[in-house]
Structure 1
Amino acid sequence: MKSLQGHTARKRFGQNFLHDAHIIRQIVDAISPKNTDHIVEIGPGLGAITEYLTIDAARLDVIEIDRDLIPRLQEKFGMNSQFQIHESDALKFNFAKLLDKSNNPASSQLRIVGNLPYNISTPLLFHLFSFPGLIEDMHFMLQKEVVERMAAPAGSPDYGRLSIMAQYHSKVDMLFTVPPGAFNPAPKVDSAIVRLQPYKQPKIIAKNVKHFEKLVTQAFTQRRKTIRNSLKTMANTEQLEHAGISPELRPEVITLTQYVTLSNLLQQNNSN
């Protein structure tokens, strides 16, 4: 792996450090940090974006798993009273604890940003979705293909479990793409910036979100099958039709609303 500013990017952490000043500026402009913001940066790396966030945010917490980067970040930004480093795995981090401190001058909600390692992006998104009401918005650099899946509408070949769950929890906007050359080392794929704005209340509410997640996961385990066959252990033909779903349809053409409706119907039947 190539060395950048004396640090060798580690493959096991999925490190690809941003170095393109124009792209960095674009990302910061998209985030548009304000002096009332409580921002949390996941994987600050060498601090390319952090540098701008410390200027404007009322408070900045950064979560970094690579202990070799901690002293560098502390030396560079530690003199700022609003800056704090957490050496932790973001997948296991309790984001709620960041709002537990009294006399917090920042917003009562978190703004999350990060250049996410491709190998943890999906589980991390699901982890963040588990903190309803805590997050104002999220701006992430992800593999372009992942962002396309998140934003895909029903009927698209990219539409699947990630599309449905991301769109259930938040408004999804793909902002712009980032070429491999903007990173060191350069990844083999294009990246993209996505903005997620969690809904205060989902447009259609699942009575049991865990059951809804399980239903959607089961539906897409074999996406080439009909929904009747995919969900044969969870729903029968009558229940599918009652939810307005033709049993002969494939999972990728069924809308978010239809999946929630079916989940709620099944939950209602179970409680009767």
Structure 2
Amino acid sequence: MSESHIPRKRFGQHFLHETAIIERMVAAIAPRPGEALVEIGPGLGALTAPLLERCRVLHVVELDRDVIPPLVERCQGLGELRVHQADALRFDFATLAPEGGQLRVVGNLPYNISTPLIFHLLKSAPRIRDMHFLLQKEVVDRLAAAPNTRDYGRLSVMTQYHCRAEALFRVGPGAFRPPPKVDSAYVRLTPWETLPHPAADEALFASLVNQAFTQRRKTLRNAVRGMADADTIEAAGLDPAARPETLSVAQFVALANRIHALRSELA
């Protein structure tokens, strides 16, 4: 590995180096030849090299052009590395999925873009088989949180609408160079083959969830004012006095679908 590259703060770079953690991550992914696999933010290739050895063809999306030459050099002879020098927040991941098949996504994600990047990837969820990410532990806690808990919020609801979220294991700061100031955790997100609670209008559902958690300490009646009144909330089988953080994904969908039905009747 090139030790001469100085991790860049503006890219949120913390390079993984602990072999035991890398082996656990690869084992959780269990890559096989012939699978369409993309790694986001490969950096200097600590995870890239063992993945490429196993899957033989690997796409990587990397913003920092300075790490690409040492990355390519490290992966020489291990397989076919397809480098996309691009901003992952703007990259169309669905284009990497094979026709009639699905993409697998992995990465040690920069903390400063992890949440918007997950929302970006959820747009392509039907084309994705699974995602394995090393993230700030606080973010993983939010992804996998249950209703009526401190960590439950917009990220929890929107992720769990599209995916099954499983926190796999914790990773300490010492596994990285430079060490971050927080703990990390490894998470698996598996998009549902069939949505368990489909929204009639996903944009309306997303807007409802966003507004509800903007004012999460208010009652549901007040938090979604302008989108649904007390009668509409009750017609969806919910208590207008409940707090948004107590609602399950299914309950948010039920309310969104009730709003959609009322708007359709008025149209």
**For this structure pair, what is the TM-score category when the shorter chain's length is used for normalisation?**
over 0.9
Q: Which residue of 2 aligns with 1:236?
A: 229
Task: Please state if 1:45 is matched with 2:63.
Answer: no
Structure 2 length-normalised TM: 0.96
| 2:42 aligned counterpart, secondary structure | coil
1:81 Cα deviation from its structure 2 partner = 5.3
| Structure 1 range deviating more: 73-82 or 162-171 | 73-82
Matches within 5 A, 1:39-78: 39-78=37-76
Residues 35, 57 of structure 1: 8 Å contact kept:
yes
| Structure 1 range deviating more: 69-78 or 225-234 | 69-78
Q: Which residue of 2 aligns with 1:188?
A: 181
Q: Which residue of 2 aligns with 1:207?
A: 200
CA change 1:199–1:17 in 2 (3 A) is same
Residues 38, 58 of structure 1: 8 Å contact kept:
no
Q: Which residue of 2 aligns with 1:141?
A: 134
Aligned match for 1:249, one of 242, 247, 253: 242
Residues 33, 53 of structure 1: 8 Å contact kept:
yes
Q: What is the distance in 1 between the residues matched to 2:242 and 2:177?
A: 45
Q: Which residue of 2 aligns with 1:104?
A: none
Q: What is the distance in 2 between the residues matched to 1:160 and 1:55?
A: 38
Aligned match for 1:123, one of 106, 116, 125: 116
Q: Identity of counterpart residues, as a percentage?
A: 51
Deviations along 1:139-164, whole A, 9 cap, x unmatched? Answer: 00001011011111111111110110
CA change 1:229–1:4 in 2 (3 A) is farther
Q: What is the distance in 2 between the residues matched to 1:37 and 1:90?
A: 20
The aligned amino acid for 2:136 is: Q
1:36 Cα deviation from its structure 2 partner = 2.5
Residues 215, 263 of structure 1: 8 Å contact kept:
yes
1:59 Cα deviation from its structure 2 partner = 2.2
Unaligned runs of 5+ in 2: none
| 2:150 aligned counterpart, secondary structure | coil
The aligned amino acid for 2:89 is: L
Residues 39, 110 of structure 1: 8 Å contact kept:
yes
Matches within 5 A, 1:211-226: 211-226=204-219
The aligned amino acid for 1:264 is: N
The count of corresponding residues between Structure 1 and Structure 2 is: 265
Q: What is the distance in 2 between the residues matched to 1:7 and 1:137?
A: 31
Q: Which residue of 2 aligns with 1:171?
A: 164
Q: Which residue of 2 aligns with 1:158?
A: 151
Deviations along 1:103-133, whole A, 9 cap, x unmatched? Answer: xxxx921110000011111111111110132
Following TM superposition, the consecutive aligned residue runs of length 4 or more in structure 1 with deviations greater than 3 angstroms are 78-81
Deviations along 1:138-190, whole A, 9 cap, x unmatched? Answer: 00000101101111111111111011011100010000000001101000000
Residues 36, 96 of structure 2: 8 Å contact kept:
no
Q: What is the distance in 2 between the residues matched to 1:59 and 1:28?
A: 15
